[in-house]
């Protein structure tokens, strides 16, 4: 089948809630790279309510990893599961904001929404990685959307979708369903064109953010990402499908503000699994994002407290942590004015985030 007018990227970029994903006739090698949940908005999501922000009071440097508010870098491998991995990383952040070291299971997240949409996981407790560790061949066997017609089956030697008729794998999933530690209550949509100051304020409060970026594979797989730590620029019109990642910080560089994001391609990608995207590029390449509201169970699954400075306010490398602002508790209020409880000039000249 010939590509549609404008190419596959144009068609992918125009997918709506009502169109099939992957598109009929799409080449298998392209379909295998797509997580259809990253291509469609979450049904029933509420709109994020912007806060009144005094931009000059926002810190110049935020790194959730250095503050102990980021979980481990994960690797989806040859399965189109970026949307679920990004959700899983946000849930790790939720745990660390409560001074807990739980690591959520991306396999459980993926098997809950595959073939449907991210709205499927809302209200359903998700389990920990220790309960159901990620196995790409298992994920492929559960796959019911883009990966089902793609290459994960041939890569891992399994039949995509076959898990749903396998009693053993379904028992594993039932055990995960019965041992959840965190429940997503709501997705708050950050629409395309959201003021980056709103995202910066959430990050400064300690919250990571799920975002869908317009994706151009040659740029993302370029050696420049590892060499420089930056995602190379590519025109938005060259991109098509979305790729979900997690914003985990920002800094003010010589050319303006830059955001730090975590990918789901393992620690070998970029700088220890993370990279930088300039604010100007984030504005043009972000299709939408989500602030994810979630509730933890009373009992940790992994035990202990996370490393670093979780639970504190702003942590400056080489200096002590400041107390958290009064309105920065989890979940932080959606209205009011975000204020940094110190003179922002103290933050001038801070080092770049760890690994960059």
Whether the Cβ atoms of residue 126 and residue 117 lie closer than 8 Å to each other: no
Q: Which residue has the tokens 């749903």?
A: 164
Is 4 within a domain?
no
CATH number at 342 reads: 3.90.70.10
Buried residues in 39-53 as b, exposed as e (16+ CB within 10 A): bbbbeebeebeebeb
Residues contacting 320, CB < 8 A, separation 6+: none
Find, among 285, 288, 260, 295, the residue nearest to 274 by Cα: 260
Is 23 within a domain?
no
Is 135 within a domain?
yes
Q: Would the pTM count as exceeding 0.85?
A: no
What's the number of CA atoms in the CB half-sphere (13 Å) around residue 69?
Answer: 27
Is 7 within a domain?
no
Show pLDDT as tens, one digit a residue, over the chain (356 residues): 344 444 444 444 444 445 556 555 555 555 555 677 777 899 999 999 999 998 889 999 999 999 999 999 999 999 999 999 999 999 999 999 999 999 999 999 999 999 889 999 999 999 999 999 999 999 999 998 754 445 788 889 999 999 999 999 999 999 999 999 999 999 999 999 999 999 999 999 999 999 999 999 999 999 999 999 999 999 988 877 899 999 999 999 888 999 999 999 999 999 999 999 999 999 999 999 999 999 998 766 654 444 443 333 443 333 333 444 433 332 333 333 333 333 333 334 444 455 54
d(Cα 57, Cα 332) in Å, to the nearest integer?
17
Find how far residue 320's CA is from the centre of its chain.
28
In DSSP terms, which residues pair with 326 in a beta bridge? none
Is 241 within a domain?
yes
The domain of 214 spans: 28-300+310-322+333-347
The number of domains in the chain is 1
Is 121 within a domain?
yes
Whether the Cβ atoms of residue 321 and residue 194 lie closer than 8 Å to each other: no
Find, among 173, 51, 157, the residue nearest to 105 by Cα: 173
């Amino acid at each position: 089948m010939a590509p549609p007018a404008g190419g596959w990227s144009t068609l992918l970029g125009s997918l709506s809630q009502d169109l099939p994903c992957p598109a009929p006739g799409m080449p298998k090698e392209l379909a295998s790279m797509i997580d259809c949940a990253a291509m469609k908005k979450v049904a029933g999501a509420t709109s994020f309510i912007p806060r009144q922000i005094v931009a000059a009071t926002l810190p110049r440097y935020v790194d959730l990893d250095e503050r102990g508010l980021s979980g481990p870098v994960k690797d989806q491998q040859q399965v189109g599961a970026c949307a679920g991995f990004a959700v899983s990383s946000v849930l790790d952040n939720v745990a660390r904001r409560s001074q807990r070291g739980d690591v959520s299971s991306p396999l459980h997240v993926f098997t809950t929404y595959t073939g449907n949409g991210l709205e499927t996981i809302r209200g359903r407790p998700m389990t920990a990685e220790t309960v159901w560790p990620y196995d790409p061949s298992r994920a492929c066997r559960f796959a019911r959307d883009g990966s089902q017609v793609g290459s994960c089956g041939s890569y891992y030697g399994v039949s995509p979708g076959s898990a749903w008729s396998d009693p053993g794998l379904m028992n594993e999933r039932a055990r995960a369903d019965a041992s959840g530690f965190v429940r997503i209550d709501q997705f708050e949509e950050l629409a395309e064109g959201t003021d980056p100051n709103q995202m910066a304020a959430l990050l400064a409060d300690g919250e990571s953010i799920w975002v869908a970026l317009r994706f151009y594979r040659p740029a993302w797989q370029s050696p420049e990402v590892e060499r420089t730590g930056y995602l190379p620029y590519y025109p938005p019109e060259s991109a098509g499908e979305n790729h979900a990642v997690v914003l985990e910080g920002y800094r003010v560089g010589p050319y303006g503000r830059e955001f730090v994001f975590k990918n789901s391609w393992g620690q070998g990608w970029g700088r220890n699994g993370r990279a930088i995207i300039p604010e100007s590029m984030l504005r043009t390449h972000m299709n939408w994002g989500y602030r994810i509201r979630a509730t933890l169970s009373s009992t940790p699954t992994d035990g202990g407290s996370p490393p670093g400075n979780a639970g504190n306010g702003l942590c400056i490398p080489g200096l002590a942590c400041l107390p958290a602002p009064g309105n920065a508790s989890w979940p932080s209020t959606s209205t009011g004015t975000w204020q940094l409880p110190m003179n922002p000039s103290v933050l001038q000249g801070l080092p770049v985030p760890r690994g960059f």
